[in-house]
Structure 1
Amino acid sequence: MSTTRELPLDARERLDLCDLLDDLGPDAPTLCEGWTTLDLAAHLVLREHFSKWTEPKLTVEKAKGLPALTARLRAGAPLIPWRIPGLRNLLNGTEYLIHHEDIRRANGLAPRTDRPDLDKIAWATARLTAWGTARKIRPHGLELRTPAGETRHYGPAGGAVLTGAPVELLLYLSGRREAALAELTGDPEAVTALDD
């Protein structure tokens, strides 16, 4: 791998993702419906370098090929807003974490257990994401639980309970339910509301 532990989380995750893209090639599946690794790499380049992008722009980027796209990603994100201290991990670290898992899980690779820094950013982001999810299932509440005993409540008690490692909770809350190793329990009505 091309990463070092001295790099910020978002930069390490970016480089690790590029290594995986290079290993798998342009036609490997992802959890993003209808997208291959080439589509996902083009999306990441466009996201960082264009304020608005369209399908024609995605097609143009994809035509450059995966090696060109990974080279551009390896070069790093523009300074504003992607590398602003304090925001870089929330904005870009989370994006690269989720898309890295999109590729890993779609290709049968196990969850990473050697990166506690990923759990830290995933827990922070999952807690923010859960606010929106909890609003959607009102009047039911939502509780997040980790194996380490961390909990966070949203709304009334006795609702849906989502349990898993922070990365798994983040994947579940970001729409990757089938791939997330998380358990949903609690009030049947709340569970049904969350699953809809």
Structure 2
Amino acid sequence: MSTEHEPPLDERERLDLCDLLDELGPDAPTLCEGWTTLDLAAHLVLREHFSKWTDEKRAVEKAKGLPALTARLRAGAPALPWRIPGVRNLLNGTEYLIHHEDVRRANGLAPRTGRPDLDKIAWATVRLTARGTARKIRPHGLEISTRAGESRHYGPPGGAVLTGHPVELLLYLSGRRDASETDLTGDPEAVAALRR
């Protein structure tokens, strides 16, 4: 929850990511396969301002250059739907958190620590995402556990157990497995199903 002096999480992640993009420049790598920081900035602009995100539209946005794109992102998201309180952090905050980590991790920056705000939104998203992941590995079950001891179980017992800090779990479940600092244990068949 934000205070009067602290902007909402999605805004903080947006501004921090823009700072990092400006610092690294348009050609730095990201964890999004085939995308540079310029590609990612164009994607974020398109995601918030247009209903369709074609390669042609991304090329048009990229042609404007990174400074123009980060300036547009810094200006904030449109009020609808991105500033609706429930949508703001859970959807937009999570999007910026993941993409911020896409840039950080691809450029050798360590995981951020001491950020309960990030852990809170990541854990809320993980609990939703894990349900869909568990359906994909049926008949095996899935347990998601934080290093602090919180856990959620989906499906039958005795399946795969994925453990890590909430942001790391979010990265794993959003397809950034190699960049996440997680432990995957449990039934070998369930583990193999989750890895697939």
Q: Quick check: 1:126–1:173 contact (8 Å CA) kept in 2?
A: yes
Report deviation, 1:40. Answer: 0.1
Q: Name stretches of at least 5 consecutive residues in structure 2 with no aligned partner.
A: none
2:74 is matched with which residue?
74
Report deviation, 1:5. Answer: 5.9
Q: Does 1:83 align with 2:83?
A: yes
2:112 is matched with which residue?
112
2:40 is matched with which residue?
40
Deviations 1:77-128 (A, max 9, x none): 0000000012200110000000000000000000000311000000000110
Letter in 1 for 2:89: N
1:138 is matched with which residue?
138
Deviations 1:25-78 (A, max 9, x none): 000000000000000000000000001120000000000000000000000000
Q: Does 1:154 align with 2:154?
A: yes
Superposition pairs of residues 1-196 of structure 1, within 5 angstroms: 6-196=6-196
Letter in 1 for 2:43: H
Taking the aligned partners of 1:5 and 1:11, their CA distance within structure 2 comes to 13
Cα–Cα, structure 1 residues 67 and 147, in superposed 2: closer, same or farther, change >3 Å?
same
Q: Name stretches of at least 5 consecutive residues in structure 1 with no aligned partner.
A: none
Cα–Cα, structure 1 residues 30 and 8, in superposed 2: closer, same or farther, change >3 Å?
same
Taking the aligned partners of 2:114 and 2:104, their CA distance within structure 1 comes to 15
Instruction: Tell me the percent identity.
Output: 84
Letter in 1 for 2:86: G
Q: Quick check: 1:5–1:12 contact (8 Å CA) kept in 2?
A: no
Deviations 1:108-163 (A, max 9, x none): 00000031100000000011000110000000000001111100000011000000
Taking structure 2 as the reference length, the TM-score comes to: 0.97
Cα–Cα, structure 1 residues 169 and 6, in superposed 2: closer, same or farther, change >3 Å?
same
Q: Quick check: 1:29–1:36 contact (8 Å CA) kept in 2?
A: yes
Runs of 4 or more, structure 1, over 2 Å off, are none
* SS across alignment from 1:132: helix
* SS across alignment from 2:152: strand
Query: How much is the aligned-residue C-alpha RMSD, in angstroms?
Result: 1.0
* SS across alignment from 1:86: helix
Q: Quick check: 1:32–1:102 contact (8 Å CA) kept in 2?
A: yes
Taking the aligned partners of 1:152 and 1:76, their CA distance within structure 2 comes to 34
